[in-house]
Amino acid sequence: MAALGPSIARQPRTVRSAFTKELKDAVDFLAGLVPGTDPSRRRGDAIAAFACMTGALILARAVDDKRFSGQILEAAAKRVIRGGRRGK
């Protein structure tokens, strides 16, 4: 996802449609793993988590500092696992 995103946006509608379907399937799968009873909130949390993970990977790959790259990935992972809540 991190590598394809910018390219997919410039592809024909059929390619974007296929990408959309696969992304929705991935979000649905992830939503099934998110705790809670409100399906709408679980889906929203899954979308936010997927976007955070994808963005973190893009940023971590872009920087030339391995330590900072690791910090980006670690911070995103912690935030996703906590569900966006602050604290431990």
**Where do the domains of the chain lie?**
5-82
pLDDT of 61 higher than 60: yes
Say which residue, 10 or 6, is predicted with more confidence.
10
Question: How many angstroms separate the CA atoms of 76 and 54, rounded?
Answer: 10
Answer yes or no: is pLDDT of 55 > 80: yes
Closest CA to 42 of 54, 55, 25, 29: 29
Q: Which two tokens mark 7?
A: 């390219």
- Under the banding of pLDDT at 50, 70 and 90, the label for residue 87 is very low
